[in-house]
Amino acid sequence: MYPAQLGVQTPEKIANWRPLVQWILAIPQLFIAYALCYVAQLLAVVSWFIILFTGKLPEGIANFQCMTLRTYTRAIAYSGFLHETNPPFAYPTTPGDPGGHPVAVNFVPALNDRNRLSVGLRIFYAIPAMLILIVISFVAGICWFVGFFAVLFTGKWPAGLHAWVIKYLRAGLRFQAYVFLLTDEMPPLNFD
């Protein structure tokens, strides 16, 4: 199991109006998520130096990164009308998901005995995973576009389209956990 796990519970039926306005309802959460991501990017640079010199990731930084990625993933899933539950304005800084939401994001961050070479060359090691993520995101974008009309007219996500969108969310979460230095384990280079 990869150290960043995602579970999304999409209801069988979604209100037909949601694709039209749910992205508007998600603006406050998206704003907070993007602001947190900027801070998390700065902390990733700080983490890079800390890990290179000490071989350890401070627990507080790891917990902040986990909270940021959870908030971001929930906001994207909500804005993409994968469920109807507005993400809470609560931001627990724990690796484990506190529960109570259709999008569960759990982490097992590597805090000690970090591979300094992997961390030092992370920007280069992340390139293959980034290329796979680009392909998945392109396909998922098309699936989200078609899914918009499917949910608008039928109130249901077609299984194949839904699967690709979830693949995108999972691949994005794993990639971000890797580049934010929560793990030294390379994201899987596949489309699952």
pLDDT in tens, 151-176: 999 999 999 999 999 999 999 999 99
d(CA 16, CA 116): 50
**Who contacts 53 (Cβ-Cβ below 8 Å, separation ≥6)?**
none
Confidence category of residue 106, pLDDT binned at 50, 70, 90? very high
**Who contacts 65 (Cβ-Cβ below 8 Å, separation ≥6)?**
40, 43, 44, 47, 109, 177, 180, 181, 182
Closest CA to 63 of 107, 101, 118: 107
* pLDDT tens for each residue of 51-101: 999 999 999 999 999 999 999 999 999 999 999 998 888 898 999 998 889
User: Residue length, the chain?
Assistant: 192
pTM for this model (two decimals): 0.93
Question: What percent of the chain is modeled with pLDDT above 90?
Answer: 90
d(CA 87, CA 74): 6
Map tokens 């539950």 to a residue: 85
H or E, element range at 38: helix 27-54
Quote the pLDDT of residue 192: 67
DSSP character for 93? -
Question: In whole numbers, what is the pLDDT of the chain averaged over residues?
Answer: 94
Quote the pLDDT of residue 191: 65
H or E, element range at 15: none
d(CA 121, CA 123): 6
Mean pLDDT to the nearest integer, 22-51: 96
Mean pLDDT to the nearest integer, 97-115: 93
**Contact 75/101 with Cβ under 8 angstroms?**
no
d(CA 97, CA 95): 7
